[in-house]
Chains A and B, each alone.
Chain A
Amino acid sequence: EVQLVESGGGLVQRGGSLRLSCVASGFMFSSHGLNWVRQAPGKGLEWISYISSSGNTIYYADSVKGRFTVSRDNAKNSLFLQLNSLRDEDTAVYYCARDREQMTYWGQGTPVTVSS
């Protein structure tokens, strides 16, 4: 069974930093691209980043470019998102999702709240 489990969310001050993790199981982690998607309270889905299976190809949404960094450790079946210079509008539930062409599997999400 494919599982994606996010962690690392929490309450952080405006301008602060946070590191999210997503641990995968049930599939060949090193063969799949991965995404981060977030959802602000009461709002729709917003894609924020993609990393290829090898980590060589990375894309970001303009809203996070230069502030967030995606990475992965294929030996540990883990995906990461480093969030820096956090703003009020970064408050959201952050999901990791597998695959490039479509988000085939999703984690349960980890909430991030940016407080002033």
Chain B
Amino acid sequence: QSLLTQPPSVSAAPGQKVTISCSGRRSNIGNNYVSWYQQLPGTAPKLLIFENSDRPSGIPDRFSGSKSGTSATLGITGLQTGDEADYYCGTWDSSLGVYVFGTGTKVTVL
């Protein structure tokens, strides 16, 4: 059972915005940086956001991340069909000494 909870699915029409929440505890999100990963169907995951809100080179600014307390949020604006994927949050848990991934959220473009 994952220590990080995400909604199973979110959906919106093309051009709209979606947000994905990631809820944890002080020992993980509260005390560590959060990353977000995108996994397109049939492919390996890709880093989307690191250190809560930074984007690697090549990731469009339609993707944004934030963190407050023991929760983090991924936002996707200007939704495109190519954004249909599974999204995972991830961070270290300082108490357990393990890296934890969220339960994953499937984004559907209507």
Q: Do A and B truly interact?
A: yes
Contact A101 B44 (CB under 8 A): no
Number of A-B pairs, beta carbon distance below 8 Å: 60
The distance from the CB of B99 to the nearest CB of chain A, in whole angstroms, is 4
Give the contact stretch, choosing among B17-25, B66-74, B77-85, B100-108.
Answer: B100-108
Closest chain B CB from A62 CB (angstroms): 8
A45 on the interface (CB 8 Å rule)?
yes
Interface size on A, residues (CB 8 A): 22
Return chain B residues, CB-CB under 8 Å to A59.
97-99
In the assembled complex, which residues on chain B have CB atoms less than 8 Å from the CB atom of A61? 98
Please report the C-alpha to C-alpha distance between residue A47 and residue B103 in the assembled complex, in whole angstroms.
Answer: 12
Which residues of chain A come closer than 8 Å to B35, judged between CB atoms? Answer: 101-103
Which residues in A have their C-beta under 8 angstroms from that of B90?
A: 45, 47, 102-103
Is the Cβ of B104 less than 8 Å from the Cβ of A45?
Answer: yes
Whether A103 contacts B37 by the Cβ 8 Å rule is yes
Q: Mark B11-52, 1 if CB is under 8 A from A, else 0.
A: 000000000000000000000010101010000111100110
Residues of A within 8 A of B47 (CB): 102-106
Residues of A within 8 A of B2 (CB): 44
For B44, the chain A residues whose CB sits under 8 A away are: 95, 106-109
B99 pairs with A106, CB closer than 8 A: no
Nearest chain A CB to B55 CB, angstrom units: 12
Q: Decide if B101 touches A101 in the complex (CB within 8 Å).
A: no
A88 within 8 Å of B by Cβ?
A: no
A50, CB-defined interface residue at 8 Å: yes
